[in-house]
Structure 1
Amino acid sequence: MSKLNEKTAVVTGGGSGIGLAIARRLASEGASVVITGRRQAVLDEAVALLGDCAVGIVADVSKAASLEALYADVRRRFGRIDVLVANAGGGVHAPLGEITETQIDQQFSTNVKGVVLTIQGALSLFSPGSSVIIIGSTASKDPAPSMSIYGGTKAAIRNMVRSWVAELKGSGVRLNIVSPGPTNTDSLRESFGDKAEEGLAFLIAKSPLGRIGEPEEIASAVAFLASDEASYINGVELFADGGASQT
């Protein structure tokens, strides 16, 4: 029997990149997977790849009403959530002196407010044994130059989890963070703009393993924390970065 057989998983931002890799891995472990995002066309393409085990539902994690509609649909279809992956998020490169108010608002709205609303809105769908995994970032402790706001949002998540683990005491719900290092996605390359090759070379040189990560490697860490094999792991921030943030 697959590790997540008969489980229901929700992956926010599951239409591309790390989120899609996570959805594929959870589906391969037997889960029924709901992926969310703001663009229907992207979700449709992802569902076509994932197959009959997947459903794509448009949702904006920064809006409580949008998440309320999402969870009402999940309840109607599946009745519960066994695995919730709060993956939706993003960052913008901007050095001090060039950070705009819009950039601050966008990153905190999705990366912090969005995580709060995503988890809070799903509470009534959890049961003992449910696993919540937030996708953080090594920027929570080692933000790159020009990524101060992004790093700040991810550090905020880490502190919120410290509180939430205590608040969920007795519920049987586990809450953990997977913090990827640089990962080979289109969004990483796009974040560097016309300096993509220079940026990637810097990240590779920093890595003790001499490379950046692959989305499937992040998905493996998530699948472990989602499974009963991690039944005694709660409140951790697992760095999946090849050791780069430790140097």
Structure 2
Amino acid sequence: MVYGFDGKVVVVTGGTSGIGLAAAKAFAKEGAFVFITGRRQDTLDDAVAQIGGKITGVRGDMSNLEDIDRLYDAVQQKHGQIDVIFANAGGGTFAPLGEITEEHYQSTFDSNVKGVLFTVQKALPLLRDGASIVLNASNVSAAGTPAFSIYSATKAAVRSFARNWMLDLKDRHIRVNAVSPGVTDTAGLNHLFGNGEQAEGTKTYLASLIPSGRVAQPEEIARSVLFLASNEASFINGIELYVDGGQKQI
């Protein structure tokens, strides 16, 4: 045990793959009671099996408010409070200006902004005073990316949530921080860039733009999430922590 999560109740949305799965594994290894969400039952069941420990999977789409209610009903059936929320669920696809459709706009904002908002808001009755909230933003909110304006705008909104919600929740001493990963080696990244040689070539190019000389592994982002959620970060509030190998510092 490193960060003191033994016996704590942790919710990780979008916990079936990538950064969410890595974070859920890390919290479970620390002894936490972990609840994860995923849209598909088969991948959810597989993630639960991989994570082990005190893990509960709840199928749901976090852009659907009824699914969020079901998540917290499941938590409340086993526990009286939540200690940590990692609002991680979300995603996006490329669409250059001139080709952005209403459906693309709506689905991206529903997943990345509406989902994060109501994941946190609906948890408030269960969140204990002194709890920690970590939001998954992205370093793309800090610089332009071709054909990625809608996704980038949603992540800028998520970063803004951290600044504002820490003020809304200050009387309850609930900290709200955002982690902003850079390019991370996940199945979602491969899907975004096309699987196979195309994805590998794109990752190689992107790695050349990063001072650390490589893309991140999900476990590296997860360790930053655990730090922000832990008492080791007790005086850190409202920040955006870039975990991107230094890319946005140049």
- Normalising by the residue count of structure 2, what TM-score does the alignment of the two structures yield? 0.95
Matched AA of 1:132:
I
The aligned residue for residue 236 of structure 2 is 233
Check conservation: 1:24, 1:50, Cα contact below 8 A. Answer: yes
Check conservation: 1:207, 1:242, Cα contact below 8 A. Answer: yes
Q: Over the residues paired in the alignment, what is the CA RMSD in angstroms?
A: 1.2
The aligned residue for residue 179 of structure 1 is 180
Structure 1 stretches lacking a partner, 5+ long: none
Structure 2 stretches lacking a partner, 5+ long: none
Post-superposition offset of 1:91: 1.1
Partner Cα distance (2:79, 2:190) in 1 = 36
Q: 2:235 matched to 1:221?
A: no
Q: 2:196 matched to 1:197?
A: no
Secondary structure in 1 matching 2:128: coil
Check conservation: 2:31, 2:53, Cα contact below 8 A. Answer: no
Which one is further off, 196-205 or 182-191?
196-205
Which one is further off, 194-203 or 218-227?
194-203
Partner deviation per Cα, 1:16-68 (whole Å, 9 max, x = no partner) = 11100000011111111100011111110011111131110012111112111
The aligned residue for residue 26 of structure 1 is 27
Partner Cα distance (2:157, 2:137) in 1 = 10
Partner Cα distance (2:227, 2:160) in 1 = 22
The aligned residue for residue 94 of structure 2 is 93
Partner Cα distance (2:142, 2:97) in 1 = 18
Check conservation: 1:26, 1:223, Cα contact below 8 A. Answer: yes
Query: Which aligned pairs between 1:98-117 and structure 2 lie closer than 5 A?
Result: 98-117=99-118
The aligned residue for residue 119 of structure 1 is 120
The aligned residue for residue 58 of structure 1 is 59
The aligned residue for residue 212 of structure 1 is 215
Partner Cα distance (1:132, 1:160) in 2 = 11
Check conservation: 1:178, 1:238, Cα contact below 8 A. Answer: yes
Matched AA of 1:236:
I
- Normalising by the residue count of structure 1, what TM-score does the alignment of the two structures yield? 0.97
Partner Cα distance (1:199, 1:101) in 2 = 28
The aligned residue for residue 145 of structure 1 is 146
Post-superposition offset of 1:226: 1.3
Partner Cα distance (1:119, 1:201) in 2 = 36
Secondary structure in 2 matching 1:245: helix
Secondary structure in 1 matching 2:129: coil
Matched AA of 1:200:
K
Which one is further off, 15-24 or 56-65?
56-65
Post-superposition offset of 1:107: 0.5
Secondary structure in 2 matching 1:85: strand
Matched AA of 1:148:
S
Partner Cα distance (2:166, 2:230) in 1 = 18
Post-superposition offset of 1:152: 0.4
> What count of residue pairs does the alignment treat as equivalent?
247
After TM superposition, the runs of 4+ consecutive aligned structure 1 residues lying more than 4 A away are none
Secondary structure in 2 matching 1:109: helix
Check conservation: 2:228, 2:236, Cα contact below 8 A. Answer: yes
Matched AA of 1:224:
F
